[in-house]
């Protein structure tokens, strides 16, 4: 029995040593075996994965350590007769190696579940942060930012901002996956799935489809750019400007530059109202009249003193090109025309 104890001690020491070396290697080299970690959610997932690898290292060492030890310590020697005494069941050991792994697996399942609901809450999903609607199709991706009415084929995200993704599919099942963010979520036709990602470093990544969806599956990629929050705002503004119709753009400019003196609802302010302005006949101070057309508006903006409306002070400042480009002026004219004709609805704000 004394010999048995000695063997057990030595084998246990070997298992301990192997576990320590492997666990050290897991921590030391983990980063080399996974993609760059670029989101807060990814940090949680990596922590759990590392813990699992350490447990795996232990069980690997347990099996391999005892086996190796037995192979060397109990190898057959020339002077030894036949086999040793047979060993039959040992209930405490069998119960032990059933119950302990069971507890470990349940514990890991519980930890995984906690991380899962922290990353992707089931109910009362918070709507704070940025919302991005992802649409998957054979074979590509489209990203819509409903808060800004912007649609893009590149996924641009501000760093350190919690982003809620609403994921849809136009045709078959796809799966939204950016390996650096770790999180993955299926795009299922007829359903809206969702997930959350908080990018934590700027850089360029790639969205991949992680569900075999047809011949072009391998090419179903889209660029991801994580940028600073200021860069994101600039990008959104640019996209919004590109998306606006001339009338919308004109309306914004008028709101910005003109509505302090002109009204849209017929009210008389410092200057005449813009209500019904296009094509209206205006009486001028010098007794003549003029019909408001493009040329007249252009002149009124660039050189307001040229013609003064009767009954109003010559109080309008000129808007030279460095304040209002020709393009801006065209947009203003387009707006005033559409507004007069009733084809432009003032957006509610």
Give residues 118-137 in contact with ligand HEC (rule: CB under 6 A).
Answer: none
- H/E stretch holding 174 reads strand 174-177
Q: Which of 48, 115, 297, 302 binds ligand HEC (CB under 6 A)?
A: 297
Tell me how far apart the alpha carbons of residues 286 and 122 are, in angstroms, rounded to a whole number.
73
- Angle CA 255–256–260, to nearest 5: 75
- In the bound state with Cu ion, the residue whose beta carbon lies nearer, of 187 and 316, is 187
Give residues 242-281 in contact with ligand HEC (rule: CB under 6 A).
Answer: 257-258, 260-262, 270-272, 277
Q: Which of 23, 119, 209, 316 binds Cu ion (CB under 5 A)?
A: 209
Burial class (CB within 10 angstroms; exposed 0-12, middle 13-18, buried 19+) of 231 = middle
Q: Are 165 and 183 in contact (CB under 8 A)?
A: no
Give residues 142-181 in contact with ligand HEC (rule: CB under 6 A).
Answer: none
Tell me how far apart the alpha carbons of residues 116 and 122 are, in angstroms, rounded to a whole number.
9
| 210 is a contact residue toward Cu ion (CB under 5 A) | no
Which is nearest to 258 in space by CA: 285, 297, 291, 232? 297
Which listed option, ligand HEC, Cu ion, none, makes contact with residue 209 (CB within 5 to 8 Å by class)?
Cu ion
Cβ-proximal residues to 309 (8 Å cutoff; 6+ apart), any chain: 271, 272, 282, 283, 284, 285
CB atoms within 10 A of CB 131: 16
Strands 150-152 and 174-177: unpaired
How many residues touch ligand HEC under the rule CB under 6 A: the total is 25
Tell me how far apart the alpha carbons of residues 254 and 270 are, in angstroms, rounded to a whole number.
15
- Tell the smallest beta-carbon distance from residue 146 to Cu ion (Å): 23
Tell me how far apart the alpha carbons of residues 220 and 178 are, in angstroms, rounded to a whole number.
12
- Tell the smallest beta-carbon distance from residue 346 to ligand HEC (Å): 16
Which of these ranges, 10-18, 21-29, 207-215, 302-310, lies near ligand HEC under the rule CB under 6 A?
302-310
| 208 is a contact residue toward Cu ion (CB under 5 A) | no
Give residues 127-186 in contact with Cu ion (rule: CB under 5 A).
Answer: 174
| 324 is a contact residue toward Cu ion (CB under 5 A) | no
- Tell the smallest beta-carbon distance from residue 318 to ligand HEC (Å): 10
Burial 158-171 (b: 16+ CB within 10 A, else e): bbebebbbbbbbee
| 314 is a contact residue toward ligand HEC (CB under 6 A) | yes
| 320 is a contact residue toward ligand HEC (CB under 6 A) | no
Which listed option, ligand HEC, Cu ion, none, makes contact with residue 271 (CB within 5 to 8 Å by class)?
ligand HEC
Which of these ranges, 11-19, 56-64, 207-215, 307-315, lies near ligand HEC under the rule CB under 6 A?
307-315
Which listed option, ligand HEC, Cu ion, none, makes contact with residue 300 (CB within 5 to 8 Å by class)?
ligand HEC
Which listed option, Cu ion, ligand HEC, none, makes contact with residue 213 (CB within 5 to 8 Å by class)?
Cu ion
Contacts with ligand HEC, residue ranges (CB under 6 A): 257-258, 260-262, 270-272, 277, 282, 292, 297, 300-301, 304, 308-309, 312-317, 319, 332
């Amino acid at each position: 029995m004394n010999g048995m104890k000695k063997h057990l001690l030595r084998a246990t020491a070997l298992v301990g040593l192997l576990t320590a070396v492997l666990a050290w290697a897991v921590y030391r080299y983990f980063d080399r075996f996974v993609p760059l970690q670029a989101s807060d959610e990814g940090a949680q997932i990596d922590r759990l994965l590392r813990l699992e690898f350490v447990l795996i290292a232990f069980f690997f060492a347990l099996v391999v350590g005892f086996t190796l030890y037995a192979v060397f310590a109990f190898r057959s020697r020339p002077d030894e007769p036949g086999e040793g005494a047979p060993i039959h069941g040992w209930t405490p050991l069998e119960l032990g190696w059933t119950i302990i792994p069971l507890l470990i697996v349940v514990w890991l399942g519980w930890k995984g579940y906690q991380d899962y609901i922290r990353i992707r809450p089931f109910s009362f999903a918070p709507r704070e942060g940025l919302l991005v609607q992802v649409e998957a199709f054979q074979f590509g991706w489209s990203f819509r930012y409903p808060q800004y009415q912007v649609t893009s084929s590149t996924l641009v995200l501000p760093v350190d901002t919690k982003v809620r993704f609403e994921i849809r599919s136009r045709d078959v099942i796809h799966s939204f996956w950016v390996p650096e963010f770790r999180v993955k979520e299926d795009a299922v036709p007829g359903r809206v799935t969702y997930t959350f990602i908080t990018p934590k470093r700027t850089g360029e990544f790639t969205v991949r489809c992680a569900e075999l969806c047809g011949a072009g599956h391998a090419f179903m990629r889209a660029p991801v750019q994580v940028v600073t929050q200021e860069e994101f705002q600039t990008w959104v503004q640019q996209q919004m400007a590109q998306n606006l119709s001339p009338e919308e753009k004109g309306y914004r400019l008028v709101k910005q530059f003109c509505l302090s003196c002109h009204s849209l609802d017929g009210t008389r302010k410092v200057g005449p109202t813009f209500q019904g302005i296009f094509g209206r006949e205006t009486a001028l101070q010098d007794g003549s009249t003029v019909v408001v057309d493009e040329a007249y508006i252009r002149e009124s903006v660039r050189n307001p003193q040229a013609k003064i409306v009767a009954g109003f002070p010559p109080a309008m400042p000129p808007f030279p090109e460095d304040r209002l480009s020709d393009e801006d002026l065209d947009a203003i004219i387009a707006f005033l025309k559409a507004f007069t004709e009733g084809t432009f609805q003032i957006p509610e704000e």
